[in-house]
């Protein structure tokens, strides 16, 4: 492999932003016919490196070579002209246009007088789609395709010119297992054609399945390259976070207290039906199920964002009617919502003001907000949750995902709730912060909080929960007590097989 | 070295471009015509900016809360006409005319606040519609006639527009005083914090237990209070008004707010910045008049300034003047 010419080579790339050295001399190469993984925690510099490669950022130092020809990247279009393609995690397709128009967006084949050559457009696109073995054709409207098929359109885009290197940025984030198989086939076809592939992902099993080598970034520094066949998860994790990670469940016996929250026969239209459960002080109850199983909707109902069609909610044996978040908060219910950026944070606001937002009415001296008291609360939760931020004045939008999530959690802990609901506690967060947040949830239970965790990740739900409630199509399928759960039974329950018979 | 200097300069221009341009403009005009920065002229500019300024203070709240208010110009006409008419009505007189006018104007503000806040209608459409509807209301109220105070010597009503305290014009004092009060409300009270939260991310504000609809409603109420104050100053200064006295001011007000640096997306801006924006607009228009530019050219110049301000606002966010991606 070493006597080959690299398809793409980066040499000593340095990129700084005010106050941050985002990339500190990163070198990296991918050979034709190689799948090279790029790994690192969020904030390690992967996205910055890709933006440098796509010409969106200009590096202060360092050089980029395509097939050993030095190249200055000025825009993604120019990178494409040089044979460097990007398949983004977030799709950037025009939904109202056809597949063919999307594939050749900006480069539609022309006839005389600038008229679009539709026949050629559809023929060329269908040719590419054949290579991808997809079930739709060039004339399909993109908005009618599934997410996975839309991703295929993105890939088709990359195949319109002769690609030398293709960069996949978390391509499987929204794919089902079956769809992944198709994607991996495409990748191995590309590899067989001699394309160099850069594969960015957090998912270890994929990395081991399809990559040849793995390069690791940490804090903007290049940490080294491993040959996939000669390494294991521990070594990679250690390289990524600088220490090894303990994901095993701390098996300390749970001392549960009184019932904090009791729900009886709660229904909300088509979203969920006849949901009953108890949540005690000192325990974490995990809600597991597929997306759309009704878990988030239960949380939103308990938080006063939805009106239940029937059923009763008791908080410490007192029946409640909750019709707004203000009332829920007043009763001691807190919700760390599913989407941190859309629902959890005011990104342009500073850290302190985000944390104190729900209680800003109470933090007053006379008619004015008491700055000192607010800073005291911020300091307290910064220390307790180990939030890494230069100062309380820093705007939340500039923090990493993990620290942002800690701000949201801090905001709700500062309300001293009786019931803490956490929806997808670690979505989009790097490995290191993930385990910190898991430990935090366990600690909170140990301190007597009643914690309800909603998660779509099985390792997470197994790791943090004392009891697990499995949901399927808006109904509780099965409740697992302490120590009762196995992965198999859990998978069956959320697929609608073999529950307690509650489901229709 | 020169490269990093050029970059630092570029960054400064992107962030403080409006202020830098303003300073250059002031210095240039002062060198060309020293009268420009004479005490008389400076006070003149501040005084003539007061009406626009008072309106801009209120719109600052609306814009930070994430909405627009294009109805303030025609609402100001309404206020001026109403207060003058009631002043002439023997059943009211000046002492009752003023509170009655405030109540009527703020009722309009409450209606907009209800439509945008509680019914969650798009503020651009609602206030654009209100611009027209209130104009119609004003014409219906006045029967299309201009309003005048018949016996100007017999009333104290002129004090708001023409009076002075220790040599300082009362409109300037009202502008300054209102700016101070609203600045404190916005920066120091829980309500002010909620305005920023609702404008910054309304969904997250709701998830934090903030009554979003009520906060938006309040911003329009504040805006209409400011409009009523501006209408009072206007009516008092001229002791008479046309039905169209506030026509077109909504755009100037918006220009001042954006010039000050409030984002049209909501969530950022301050009262102080708006005051700066008002003064910049006032001085530029005054300077161009002194330079002998036709009055009508001001409309074009105002537009150019708005475009420049919006461009620099976006450039500051992405750190350079032009970018292929947003």
β-pairing, A284-289 vs A310-315, is: unpaired
Q: What is the pLDDT of residue A19?
A: 60
Q: Identify the weakest region by mean pLDDT among A477-486, B57-66, B208-217.
A: A477-486
CA A65/CA A73 separation, integer angstroms? 10
Q: Are residues A374 and A286 in the same domain?
A: yes
CB contact under 8 A, A326 and B211: yes
Q: What is the pLDDT of residue A502?
A: 45
Distance of CA B224 to the CA centre of its chain: 11
* B4-24 mean pLDDT: 67
CB contact under 8 A, A361 and B190: yes
Query: Do the domain assignments include residue A501?
Result: no
Q: What is the pLDDT of residue A501?
A: 46
CB contact under 8 A, A335 and B200: no
Q: What is the pLDDT of residue A472?
A: 86
Q: Are residues A107 and A231 in the same domain?
A: yes
- Hey, which of A108-122, B82-96, B311-325 has the most confident mean pLDDT? B82-96
Instruction: Report how many helices (DSSP H) and strands (DSSP E) chain A contains, helices first.
Output: 16, 22
With a CB cutoff of 8 Å and minimum separation 6, the contacts of A128 are A103, A156, A159, A160
What the block records as the tokens of B264 is 């049209």
Instruction: Specify the number of domains making up chain A.
Output: 2
Q: Are residues A313 and A230 in the same domain?
A: no
Q: Mutate which of B11, B189, B209 to test chain A, going by most A C-beta atoms within 10 A?
A: B209
SS3 content of chain A, % helix, strand, coil (to 5): 35, 25, 40
CB contact under 8 A, B205 and A357: yes
Q: Examine the pLDDT at B1 and tell me if it is beyond 50.
A: no
Reduced to 3 states (helix: H, G, I; strand: E, B; else coil), residue A327 is: helix
Candidate from B184, B204, B268 with C-beta closest to A344: B204
CB contact under 8 A, A369 and B190: yes
Q: Examine the pLDDT at B213 and tell me if it is beyond 60.
A: yes
CB A455 within 8 A of CB A286: yes
* A270-295 mean pLDDT: 90
Candidate from B190, B205, B211 with C-beta closest to A346: B205
CB contact under 8 A, A357 and B190: no
CB A101 within 8 A of CB A25: no
Residue with tokens 């709660």: A266
DSSP tag of A82: T
Q: Identify the weakest region by mean pLDDT among A177-186, A462-471, B136-145.
A: A177-186
CA A416/CA B272 separation, integer angstroms? 36
Give the percent of chain A with pLDDT over 90.
40
CA A359/CA A303 separation, integer angstroms? 16
CB A198 within 8 A of CB A86: no
Provide ipTM, 2 decimals: 0.86
Contacts 24+ apart (CB under 8 A), B313-321: B313/B258, B313/B261, B313/B263, B315/B14, B315/B17, B316/B14, B316/B15, B316/B17, B319/B11, B319/B14, B320/B10, B320/B14, B321/B10, B321/B14
Please tell me the CATH code under which domain B40-316 is placed.
1.10.3470
Q: What is the pLDDT of residue B284?
A: 84
DSSP tag of A144: G
CB A453 within 8 A of CB A287: yes
Chain A contact set for B210 (CB, 8 A): 357-358
Q: Are residues A283 and A221 in the same domain?
A: no
Q: What is the pLDDT of residue A1?
A: 47
Q: Are residues A120 and A224 in the same domain?
A: yes
Q: Mutate which of A80, A348, A356, A397 to test chain B, going by most B C-beta atoms within 10 A?
A: A348
pLDDT tens digits, one per residue of B306-319: 787 777 767 766 66
CATH number for the domain spanning A211: value is: 3.40.50.300
Q: Identify the weakest region by mean pLDDT among A164-168, A214-218, A458-462.
A: A458-462
pLDDT tens digits, one per residue of B176-198: 999 999 999 999 999 999 999 99
CA A480/CA A118 separation, integer angstroms? 58
Q: Are residues A325 and A409 in the same domain?
A: yes
CB contact under 8 A, A342 and B267: no
Q: What is the pLDDT of residue A503?
A: 41
Give the percent of chain A with pLDDT over 70.
92
Q: Are residues A269 and A336 in the same domain?
A: yes
CA neighbor of A411 nearest in space, from A377, A439, A388, A437: A377
CB A311 within 8 A of CB A482: no
Q: Identify the weakest region by mean pLDDT among A132-141, B21-30, B45-54.
A: B21-30
Q: What is the pLDDT of residue B15?
A: 61
Higher pLDDT, A429 or A464: A464
Q: What is the pLDDT of residue A262?
A: 95
- Hey, which of A51-55, A475-479, B19-23 has the most confident mean pLDDT? A475-479
Chain A contact set for B207 (CB, 8 A): 303, 305, 325, 335, 337, 343-344
A214, A241, A268 - which closes a domain? A241
Q: What is the pLDDT of residue B31?
A: 87
C-alpha separations of A99 from A140, A163, A168 in Å = 6, 20, 20
β-pairing, A364-365 vs A221-227, is: unpaired
CA A56/CA A291 separation, integer angstroms? 34
Q: What is the pLDDT of residue B25?
A: 77
Containing domain of residue A371, as a range? 259-494
Higher pLDDT, A179 or A406: A406
CB A271 within 8 A of CB A453: no
A324, closest residue in chain B (CA to CA): B209
Q: What is the pLDDT of residue A504?
A: 38
Q: How confident is the model at residue B4 (pLDDT cuts 50, 70, 90)?
A: low
* A259-286 mean pLDDT: 93
CB contact under 8 A, B267 and A348: yes
Chain A contact set for B189 (CB, 8 A): 364, 367-369
Q: Are residues A72 and A26 in the same domain?
A: yes
CB contact under 8 A, A345 and B201: yes
Q: Are residues A193 and A267 in the same domain?
A: no
Higher pLDDT, B325 or B317: B317
CB contact under 8 A, B208 and A369: no
Query: Do the domain assignments include residue A424?
Result: yes
Distance of CA A408 to the CA centre of its chain: 16
Q: Mutate which of A349, A355, A373, A395 to test chain B, going by most B C-beta atoms within 10 A?
A: A349
pLDDT tens digits, one per residue of A394-426: 999 888 888 999 999 999 999 999 999 999 998
* B128-155 mean pLDDT: 92
Q: Name every residue in B having a CB less than 8 A away from some CB of A.
A: 184, 188-190, 193-194, 196-197, 200-201, 203-211, 267-268, 324-325
SS3 content of chain B, % helix, strand, coil (to 5): 75, 0, 20
CB contact under 8 A, A349 and B211: no
Average pLDDT, chain A: 86
């Amino acid at each position: 492999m070493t006597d080959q010419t690299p398809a793409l080579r980066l040499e000593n790339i340095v990129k700084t932003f005010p106050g941050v050295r985002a990339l500190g001399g990163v070198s990296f190469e991918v050979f034709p016919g190689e799948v090279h993984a790029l790994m690192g925690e969020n904030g390690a510099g992967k996205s910055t490196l890709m933006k440098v490669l796509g010409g969106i950022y200009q590096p202060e130092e360092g050089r980029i070579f395509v097939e050993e020809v030095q190249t200055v990247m000025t825009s993604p279009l120019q990178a494409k002209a040089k044979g460097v393609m990007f398949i983004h995690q977030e799709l950037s397709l025009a939904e109202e246009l056809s597949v063919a128009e999307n594939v050749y967006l900006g480069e539609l084949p022309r006839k005389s007088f600038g008229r679009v050559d539709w026949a050629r457009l559809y023929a060329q696109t269908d040719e590419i789609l054949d290579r991808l073995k997809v079930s739709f054709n060039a004339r399909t409207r993109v908005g009618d395709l599934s997410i996975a098929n839309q991703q295929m359109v993105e890939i088709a885009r990359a195949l319109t010119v002769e690609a030398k290197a293709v960069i996949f940025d978390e391509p499987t984030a929204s794919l089902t297992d079956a769809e992944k198989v198709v994607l991996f086939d495409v990748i191995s076809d590309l590899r067989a054609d001699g394309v160099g592939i850069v594969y960015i992902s957090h998912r270890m099993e994929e990395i081991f399945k399809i990559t040849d080598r793995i390069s690791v970034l940490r804090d903007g520094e290049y940490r080294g390259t491993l040959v996939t066949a000669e390494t294991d998860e521990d070594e990679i994790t250690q390289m990524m976070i600088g220490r090894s990670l303990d994901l095993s469940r701390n098996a300390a016996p749970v001392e549960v207290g009184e019932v904090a929250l009791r729900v009886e026969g709660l229904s909300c239209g088509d979203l969920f039906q006849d949901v009953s459960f108890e949540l005690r002080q000192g325990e974490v109850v995990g809600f597991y199920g597929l997306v759309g199983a009704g878990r988030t909707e239960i949380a939103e109902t308990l938080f006063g964002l939805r009106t239940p069609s029937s059923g009763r909610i008791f908080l410490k044996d007192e029946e409640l009617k909750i019709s707004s978040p203000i009332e829920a908060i007043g009763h001691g219910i807190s919700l760390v919502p599913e989407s941190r950026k859309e629902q959890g944070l005011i990104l342009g606001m500073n850290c302190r003001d985000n944390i104190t937002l729900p209680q800003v009415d109470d933090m007053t001296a006379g008619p004015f907000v008491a700055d000192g008291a607010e800073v005291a609360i911020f300091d307290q939760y910064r220390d307790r949750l180990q939030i890494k931020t230069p100062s309380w004045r820093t705007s939340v939008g500039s923090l990493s995902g993990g620290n942002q999530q800690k701000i949201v959690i801090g905001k709700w802990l500062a309300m001293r709730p009786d019931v803490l609901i956490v929806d997808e506690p670690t979505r989009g967060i790097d490995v290191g912060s993930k385990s910190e947040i898991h430990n935090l949830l366990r600690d909170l239970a140990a301190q007597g909080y009643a914690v309800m965790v909603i998660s779509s990740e099985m390792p997470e739900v197994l790791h943090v929960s004392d009891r697990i409630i499995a949901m399927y199509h808006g109904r509780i399928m099965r409740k697992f007590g302490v120590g009762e759960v196995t992965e198999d039974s859990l998978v069956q329950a959320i697929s609608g097989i073999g529950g307690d018979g509650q489901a229709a | 070295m020169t490269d990093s200097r050029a970059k630092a300069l570029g960054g400064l221009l992107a962030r403080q471009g409006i202020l830098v341009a303003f300073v250059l403009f002031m210095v240039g005009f002062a060198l060309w015509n020293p009268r420009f920065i004479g005490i008389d002229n400076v006070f003149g500019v501040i005084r003539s900016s007061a009406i626009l300024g008072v309106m801009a203070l209120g719109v600052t709240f609306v814009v930070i809360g994430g909405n627009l208010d294009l109805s303030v110009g025609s609402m100001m006409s309404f206020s001026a006409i109403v207060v003058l008419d009631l002043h002439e009505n023997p059943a009211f007189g000046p002492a009752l005319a003023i509170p009655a006018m405030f109540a009527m104007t703020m009722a309009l503000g409450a209606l907009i606040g209800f439509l945008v806040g509680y019914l969650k209608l798009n503020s651009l459409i609602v206030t654009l519609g209100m611009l027209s509807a209130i104009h119609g209301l004003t014409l219906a109220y006045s029967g299309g006639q201009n309003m005048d105070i018949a016996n100007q010597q017999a009333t104290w009503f002129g004090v708001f527009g023409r009076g002075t305290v220790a040599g300082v014009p009362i409109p300037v004092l009202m502008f300054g005083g209102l700016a101070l009060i609203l600045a404190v409300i916005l920066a120091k009270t829980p309500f002010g914090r909620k305005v920023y939260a609702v404008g910054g991310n309304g969904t997250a504000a709701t998830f934090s237990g903030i009554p979003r609809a009520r906060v938006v409603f309040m911003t329009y109420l504040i805006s209409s209070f400011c409009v009523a104050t501006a209408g009072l100053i206007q009516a008092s200064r001229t002791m008479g008004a046309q039905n169209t006295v506030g026509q077109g001011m909504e755009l100037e007000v918006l220009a001042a707010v954006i010039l000050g640096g409030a984002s049209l997306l909501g969530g950022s801006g301050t009262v102080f910045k708006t005051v700066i924006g008002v003064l910049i607009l006032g001085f530029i228009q005054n300077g161009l008049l002194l330079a002998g530019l036709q009055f009508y050219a001001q409309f074009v110049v105002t537009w150019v300034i708005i475009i420049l301000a919006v461009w620099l606002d976006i450039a500051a966010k992405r750190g350079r003047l032009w970018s292929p991606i947003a």
